[in-house]
Each structure stands twice: as structure tokens, then as C-alpha cells.
Structure 1
Amino acid sequence: MAMDRIPGQDIYIGGIFALKNKAALNRANITHVLSALRLQPDEETFAPFQHHRIDVDDVDDENLLEHFPAAIKFIQSGLDSGGSVLVHCAMGKSRSATICIAYLLHQQPRALTPQSALEIIRQSRPLCEPNDGFMEQLSVYHEMGCPDDVTSHPVYNRWLYRREVEESVACGRAPVMKSVLFEDEQPQGTQESTDRTTEIKCRKCRRILATTPFITPHGPEKNSKSSTDCAHIFLHPLTWMRSSLFPNGASDEEEESPYGSRPEDAPLSGRLTCPNTVCGFNVGKFAWQGTQCSCGDWVVPAFSLAKARVDISDRVNLLRGAGGRLPQAAFGIRLPPGMRSNNVDETGNGRGNL
């Protein structure tokens, strides 16, 4: 089982020993070879082929996702040239399978999922089994819509941010400022139109702290308690929190010590204070390692506002009708039955009994 052909594709998947079988490579018309491993044989081995190399290890925290677009482009160029492509790693089990799954997803993003694409590959190579980290990255790639540009996509940046937070917390440190993804600095996608927007204000000075897009939903409905039992509202990190998260004001340009830590690291947890410098009211708390809400749900990382220290209000978004006009009901005008919205012509003039 040196190499196997993916059903319906001129793509072969195998281990490093597949390169030793020259006769099999010739029979398969292999013209392009993609290597997904860090240790490489002599370059002379690849002399007869177009070669693309990705230096990655088969470990959960390896970032293979960032290499998907280049790998897919290379595979497609081999197929377009009329040849076949060999994708290999050490055993032809995890890294190479991940690359092939990414290619299949890119070809049919709506028809396939990471798991269904894996099942296609397993039809000819049953031993394929990407590690858990790679399967997560394939899910992120699928969630993104399998784009040609991964690294600038907001979903990728959020995934990378979560990874960096997890790694920092595992080392007992808060992440550095430049790695924190402040949500109000990110491009906002098209929001679904709703008739209400939630506003959260400091109870002392009435400064707006957050609105609906920046509230992090969590799962009280999954527990025995209702959402009204939650004592806190959880948010995405926002720019006004910067002074609380990084009280030492460490800039991105500061040099790190030889041990990889700054002289004064940011705290893992602490208070969130109102950004109004005149106010400075304690409105909540943060914990990079996460915290458990009173409803029982864990939120990691956690940036929470105490309901007892903020005011929460719902602002009504008045929907305009044709021509940008507000409905008469918005002004408190109650119309006779013959003049209500279902009996108004394009000019806005009432019909019916008039």
C-alpha cells in the first residue's frame, strides 16, 4: 500500500516509500509531488517531478491550515497539465490525507464536509486518519467557505487568536497585546436586520460599553437554569478593555526577555473598569483562563459585565417602508382599517373607503 488513487481523481496519496517505486510512479503518470513532512530525502529523488514542499509535523498544534491554498493551487496545476499528483507524508495517513481532504472541499464546498471527504479517501486508503488538530482546521476551512485566501479571513484570524490564547494560558501567562483580537477593530460582516438592538451602559456614567454584535452568547438554555439567572453578560474583547487587560501599557515594540517573557507580564485575570476616565467604575471582570457563569456554563476566555453594575436596554430599530418613509404607526398614529399598510398604494395614499 505504497500509494493509492483517490476515487474520481488523478490524485494519489501515500507515504514516503511511494517515491521508491519508480515503475508505479510512471504507470500512474505522476508529474507533480507534494511533500507534507519536515524530514526530506535527497532532492535528487524529486528531480523528475514538479515538487512542492510543506514543512510540517504530524502534531495537533501544527498550523497546516495556512498552507491549504498553496497546496490546492499546486495540485490543480498538476491536474491541469494533464499529469497526476502524488501527495505524501511519512505514512500517508494524517498530513497527506488532510491536504487531499482540503482539495476535495475546495472543489465541492457545499456538497462535502471534512468527514464525508475523508470517507471518500478511505474508500481506497482505509488507514487515513488526520489527527484531531488537523480535523479541526479542516472544519474551520469549511466554515470559511474554502477560500483561496485563508490568512486574511476573519474566521481564520479568530481561530488563530483562540489558539494563541490557549497556548499562553497553558504557560500561565496572558497573551501579548498584539495577539489579542479586539472585535470592534475587525471588519464586521453583514448583520441580520432585527427590530431590536441591545445596549449595555455603565450604570454610573451611562457610557455605552457594548451592543448586540459584541455580546458573546453562552449556553444557559443547555442547563437547568434560565438566562435570567446569569449574573454576568459576556463580551468579545473590545478596545476599551485594553487598559484593564494591559495595565502596564506594554507596546508591541517592547523587546521580550531572553526567556520569552516581558519584565512585567499582563495579568491573567482582573477587573474591567468603565473607559470613561472621569468615571472609572468597576463594571466587571476578565479571566483569560475562563470563568463559570452562574448558569453553569464555562466561557473561555471570559470578559464579563456584572448585571448589577450596568444598565441593559433594548433599542427599537424602526423599519422604513418604500421610499424610506417611516410607517405612521411609528409616530403613534392609529389609522382606520381602510388606510392601514395592507391598503396603501405605491404613492402612500390610502385606498378603500376614501
Structure 2
Amino acid sequence: MAMNRIPGHNIYVGGILSLKNKAALERENFTHVLSVLRLGSDEIFSSYQHHKIDVDDVDYENLLEHFPDAIKFIQSGLDGGGGVLVHCAMGKSRSATICIAYLLHQKRNEASFTPQAALELVREGRPLCEPNDGFMQQLELYHEMGCPDDVSEHPIYQRWLYRREVEESVACGRAPEMESVRFEDDQPSIQQAQPTPEREVELKCRKCRRGIASSKYIISHEEEKRENAKARSNVECAHIFLHPMKWMRSSLYPSASDSNPNAQFTGDAPLSGRLACPNPTCGANIGKFAWQGMQCSCNSWVVPAIGLAKARVDIKPLASGNLPPAALGIRLPPGMRPTEPTQPGSGRGNL
């Protein structure tokens, strides 16, 4: 089983041994070969258009960044009327991942066509295909992003890279470098990255009433709760977890310069600590952070964890712009109140 065709497409998935089957390569009119592994010499590909992706078959390898170029290469081969061979060492994980990414991109307007559905289609031709867990997660992210032609600037991709860097730093026993932290209120495209919540809220320090964050900066860990068999769904979470924000710098990096918050931080930042209210005249303890993660009261883990204690903040619904001022508790001066229609017997027309 050197190589197999994906049903409905002139794309073949195979291992390194498929390149030795010269008769099959000529019979299927292969014009493009995509190698998803680390290779030495490229001489064997002199008869084909060749594209190489140097990656290993390990969970932490970033294959997602190569999806757009790989998809363009595959499409160019198909548009030219030839066959395309996508191979890795065994034709099981890396090559299958690239083919799934291509199928997702082709059907990106079909929400029901998920990475799992694409994998099943690939398996119809090659049953042994099994991307590793890390690659499947990257395919899920790609699908969540809408399978864009460029992933590098997408907020979801950037946030994923940021979390990877945090994990690498924590594994070395240190906090991430400040310049690598993704402060969400510094990102111009955050509105595109966050779904619109059903109820917009604002979080305020309970002591000084200073605004701290709104709904778009809140991290929901409902999915983790569903996946965690030990999670207690009937227990209310004691913390509200947030993405990093600029006002947190003084807590996350206490030795950083207040006069120049954008300056490079060179000191040793703590792995965990307390969050202080950003109001300099207040400074109340409103929560805590732990780059290595924190277990919520519902038993779910959030990594990295920056949590506001619900007992230290007030949660206020943000009023809708369509509501009249009176509904918001605002009493306007007489000259600014809206004119109400006069009804017989109401007595208001005589004032």
C-alpha cells in the first residue's frame, strides 16, 4: 500500500516508498510531489514540480503555518491537469494532515464539513491515515479560523502561538518574556477574534468601581468543563479568567518600568502572583495569575490562568444602545425629556 487516491480528487497519499513505484507515477501522470518530512537530496524529484515541508511527526510541530502554501501547491497541480502525490515517511500522519487541510479549504463554506469528516474521506482511500493529536488540534484551529488563505495574521493563530510560547517558558521554569505576551487590548483585530456573547458585561473593582474588563476579554472554559470528567458542573466558578491586558503589566512584570511600559523587560518575572486593581489610588487585590495554570473551583484547568476573584469584582450588564434613558436609570432635565403624546383624560395636556 505505497500510495492511495483520495476519492473524488486526483490527489494521492503515500509514504516514501511510493516514490520507487515509477510505473505507477507515470501511469497516474503525476506532475507535482509534495514532501512532508525532512529530506536530504532532492535529485529524485527532478522530473516533477516539488515542494518540501521540513517537519517531524511530533505533536508540538507547527504544521499549521504551512497549510496555505501547501494548498496552493496542490491546487496548481490539479489546475494543470496532472496528479498530485502528497507523501511523508509512512503516509499516515503528516501527509494525511496536509490533505485534510486541502479538503477543508475546498469546502470552507460548508460548516458541516469538519476535520473529522475530511479524515473519514481520506481514510476511504487510505484507511491507515491517522494524524497525531497535535496535528488534529491544528486542523481544528484551521477550521475554526474559516480556512483562510493566510493564517499568520489571524488572531486565533497568533493566540495559539502565544500559548505555545507560554508553555515552553513554563516548561523551563520561568515566565514568558513580556514582549512575547499577547496583550489583547493592544490587538486591533480583537473584535474579529471574539464571538459576540449573548450578554455583554463589564467587570469593575468592587472597592473603587474602576472598570477592569468587558466580555470580549473573558476566557470561557466551558469546553474544558465538558471534557473534564471530574469537573463539577453544579459548582459556580470562583474566578473569571481573562486574556492578558495592558493594565496587568505591573502585576505580571513588577520590575518593568512604569514610565515606559513598552520597554524590554529584563528581570525575572514571577510564575504566579496576585493581581492588583489598576487604579493607583486603590491597588486592591482583585485576583491572581499563574502562567503554569490554575485549577478552577469547578475542577477544570485553565492554562495560562489570569483570574479575577468574583468576590472582589462587580459584574454589571452593559446597557443596550436601543434602550431609552429612563430604562438606564437616567433622569433627563425637563427641557431634554422626550415629548409624550397627549391622551384624553390623562391630565398631562393641562400642565
Report the equivalent of 2:178.
Answer: 177
Write out aligned runs for 1:321-340 (5 A). 326=324
Report the equivalent of 1:198.
Answer: 201
- Describe the SS at the equivalent of 1:278: coil
Counterpart amino acid of residue 29 in structure 2: N
TM-score normalised over the length of structure 1? 0.82
Counterpart amino acid of residue 150 in structure 2: D
Report the equivalent of 1:266.
Answer: 269
Report the equivalent of 2:69.
Answer: 70
The 1:45/1:5 distance shift into structure 2, 3 A limit, reads same
Report the equivalent of 2:6.
Answer: 6
Report the equivalent of 1:231.
Answer: 238
Counterpart amino acid of residue 26 in structure 2: N
Report the equivalent of 2:23.
Answer: 23
Matched, 1:292 2:300: no
Rounded to whole Å, the distance in 2 between the matches of 1:99 and 1:148 is 14
- Unaligned 5+ segments in structure 1 are 256-261, 321-325, 334-347
Report the equivalent of 1:35.
Answer: 35
Q: Which ranges of 4 or more aligned residues in structure 1 deviate by more than 4 Å?
A: 219-222, 250-255, 326-333, 348-351
Greater shift, 297-306 or 28-37, is seen at: 297-306
Q: In 1, are the aligned partners of 2:178 and 2:264 still within 8 Å (CA)?
A: no
Rounded to whole Å, the distance in 2 between the matches of 1:193 and 1:102 is 29
Q: In 2, are the aligned partners of 1:183 and 1:236 still within 8 Å (CA)?
A: yes
Rounded to whole Å, the distance in 1 between the matches of 2:95 and 2:9 is 15
Q: In 2, are the aligned partners of 1:318 and 1:330 still within 8 Å (CA)?
A: no
Greater shift, 129-138 or 285-294, is seen at: 285-294
1:117 deviates by 1.1
Matched, 1:80 2:90: no
1:350 deviates by 9.9
TM-score normalised over the length of structure 2? 0.83
Write out aligned runs for 1:219-258 (5 A). 219=222, 223=232, 225-227=234-236, 230-249=237-256
1:252 deviates by 8.3
Counterpart amino acid of residue 314 in structure 1: P
Rounded to whole Å, the distance in 1 between the matches of 2:65 and 2:157 is 9
Report the equivalent of 1:127.
Answer: 128
Counterpart amino acid of residue 56 in structure 2: D
- Unaligned 5+ segments in structure 2 are 332-339, 344-351
| Percent of aligned positions that are identical | 66
Q: In 1, are the aligned partners of 2:100 and 2:118 still within 8 Å (CA)?
A: yes
The 1:8/1:350 distance shift into structure 2, 3 A limit, reads farther
1:237 deviates by 1.3
- Describe the SS at the equivalent of 2:32: strand
